[in-house]
Structure 1
Amino acid sequence: MTAELLDIDSERPRLLGLAYQMLGTVADAEDAVQEAVSRFYALPEQERATVHRPGAWLMRTTGRVALDVLKPAHRKRELYVGEWLPEPIPGRGEELDDASPESYAVLQTEVSYGLMVVLERLSPAERAVFVLRESFGLGFSEISEVVLRSPGACRQLASEARKKIQAGKATRGSEEDGHTDLVRAFAQACATGDIAELTRLLDPSVELRSDGGGIVSAARRPVITAENVAKMLVGLRQKFPEAGVELVTLAGGEQGALFRLGEEVGGLLACGVVEGAIEQVWIMRNPEKLRLWQ
């Protein structure tokens, strides 16, 4: 293996992390990185020899590829059947028998699932700038080469993105005090169908969103208020009394709950916690976004 190939392989985790944070699914991230690597090797040999930092070149190119994919994807998600949620990624320590080495690389991200959800509120350009700046530390001059805007415009995009992120109350990991204990109690209440305990743990204005992708049943619109969310979760328990519930760790370090129907994964639940109460509940049921958990 050449030094050039070794250098590219060492950069793959960062490239996949970038593409995942921009696109929200592992499959799209892998495709974007593969396209960037293909473009690198498509360069004339003499031109490729002038690239002294292949990692930096690939980072910029992966960002551009992901941005090009995100622009039409942003519009397509408006036509998605039901709610579109990002693919939840297993954290360190979770067993992933069928995952590819490339998929494991994505686990290096320390971005919480809640932040991944809030990133969907950003425009494609805002998302690209925010991820490149906040997660990967690129300067605005380098970011400008990705989004094809001036450094000043990129700085303004970063400011707007941060405002939207702060409004979404997302953390970059399991930073919220009591998050783990709340999720554990919540998972237990879901497993037993304890509607009173569920209601107690939920913020009165909690919002639940679920993603079935039009493949399996899921609420197509957000469910709002603690009473309605608790009733829905108890109803799901009654519909699937045989489902097993186990606590798992997501990539950002926060706890989630995995629902198993026999040998199959039926869904994954994650929560957004603010000031000691569960404000957001996200349920992934789309089997295409649960492959890493099977």
Structure 2
Amino acid sequence: MDDDLDDVFRERRRLLALGYRMTGTLADAEDVVQETYLRWYRLTEAERDAIANPAGWLTTVAGRVALDLLGSARRRREQYVGPWLPEPVPAELFAGAIGSRTASRSEDPLDRITLDDDVSTALLVVLEAMTPAERVAFVLHDVFAVPFDEIAEAVGRSSAAVRQLAASARRHVRENRVAAVPRAEHDRVVRAFQEAANSGEIAPLLRYLAPDVELRSDGGGVVSAARNVVSGADNVARFLLGIAAKRPTMVMEQQQFGDGLGFVFREDGEVVSVMNLRVAAGRITQLWIVLNPAKLSSWLPG
């Protein structure tokens, strides 16, 4: 029995990785994991003994829990102050959590975004635009390799309907990642962007911002942030330089994320914001800045 419990507990990190992809925040992911384990412990010993694959059972139940949670989360986010962004986490946070699924992954960026342990902000933003059922079907099948029949049981739909949900979700992902670039190219552009930002001049920044670049910042109504999308290279450049002028002691540090190189901003040694970026055709097309303290939990001192 103790060995069985050890096996169940060993699934916690993988379930947390699943919950994060499902919900976009570590707090919600923790709720998914806790509820999943509560349902396991509510089973009788005979019911647990009858489960041939506890890891599969936990994964399927976590999908069902996440589906329920996503419905209420969507209602909460409709009242959120300013843009809602997924919580940024270090690239290595879930490294190895998926297991052999990533052992022979392709170098194609379109494949990489679905298979990487270190899930990207770009993918999470696309997932956020899906219906809860599409998101659950996509994450369970395309990332965690759960068979369609088991997903159908989790979401209360037929296997054929779940296949359609996953296919629709996959189209969303591919349509939004047509211009994905290799990691090395992403990082090269981001480093050049940082050097341009450090110059304090608009002209150097404009060389690395796409004409239709968009910047979103998430303060959650708790800290000061732009409540609307900042669009256009000139506007984004002036916005960034304006922040730098107002906060001269803020330090910009490079950090690897699921998207590639990004930045952590510190004041007096404390993390105040995290920036992820998207690169296409040699320029930055999206900037995502999270300032909401509730979404910076993984950057607090251990």
Q: 2:125 aligns with which of 117, 134, 137?
A: 117
* Structural mapping, 1:1-294, within 5 Å: 2-92=2-92, 104-105=93-94, 108=97, 109-169=117-177, 175-176=182-183, 178-250=185-257, 252=258, 254-294=260-300
The 2-side partners of 1:194 and 1:34 are apart by: 49
Compute the displacement of 1:59 (Å).
0.3
Residues 1:106 and 1:176: Cα distance change in structure 2 (over 3 Å)? closer
**Structure 2 residue ranges without an equivalent (≥5):** 98-116
Contact 1:176 1:273 in 2 (8 A): no
Identity %: 47
- Name the Cα RMSD after superposition: 1.8
The 1-side partners of 2:207 and 2:68 are apart by: 44
Q: TM-score, normalised by structure 2?
A: 0.88
Compute the displacement of 1:114 (Å).
1.1
Out of 112-121 and 191-200, give the one that drifted further.
Answer: 191-200
The 2-side partners of 1:266 and 1:170 are apart by: 32
Give the secondary structure class of the aligned counterpart of 2:266: strand
Contact 1:207 1:225 in 2 (8 A): yes
**Structure 1 residue ranges without an equivalent (≥5):** 93-103
The 2-side partners of 1:54 and 1:74 are apart by: 30
1:120-160 deviation line (CA, Å, top 9, x unaligned): 11110111011111111112111111111111111111121
Compute the displacement of 1:171 (Å).
8.6
Contact 1:129 1:143 in 2 (8 A): yes
Out of 231-240 and 139-148, give the one that drifted further.
Answer: 139-148
One-letter amino acid of the counterpart of residue 152, structure 2? S
Q: Tell me what 1:96 maps to.
A: none
The 1-side partners of 2:12 and 2:178 are apart by: 27
Give the secondary structure class of the aligned counterpart of 1:217: coil
The 2-side partners of 1:7 and 1:227 are apart by: 54
Residues 1:61 and 1:106: Cα distance change in structure 2 (over 3 Å)? farther
Residues 1:280 and 1:107: Cα distance change in structure 2 (over 3 Å)? farther
Compute the displacement of 1:176 (Å).
5.0
Q: 1 or 2 for the larger relative contact order (CA 8 Å, sep ≥6)?
A: 1
Compute the displacement of 1:107 (Å).
7.8
Count of aligned residue pairs for this structure pair: 281
The 1-side partners of 2:241 and 2:208 are apart by: 14
Contact 1:193 1:233 in 2 (8 A): no
Compute the displacement of 1:189 (Å).
2.6
Compute the displacement of 1:30 (Å).
1.2
Contact 2:265 2:274 in 1 (8 A): yes
Give the secondary structure class of the aligned counterpart of 1:132: helix
Give the secondary structure class of the aligned counterpart of 1:52: coil
Residues 1:62 and 1:171: Cα distance change in structure 2 (over 3 Å)? farther
Give the secondary structure class of the aligned counterpart of 1:85: coil
The 2-side partners of 1:39 and 1:205 are apart by: 47
Contact 2:193 2:205 in 1 (8 A): yes
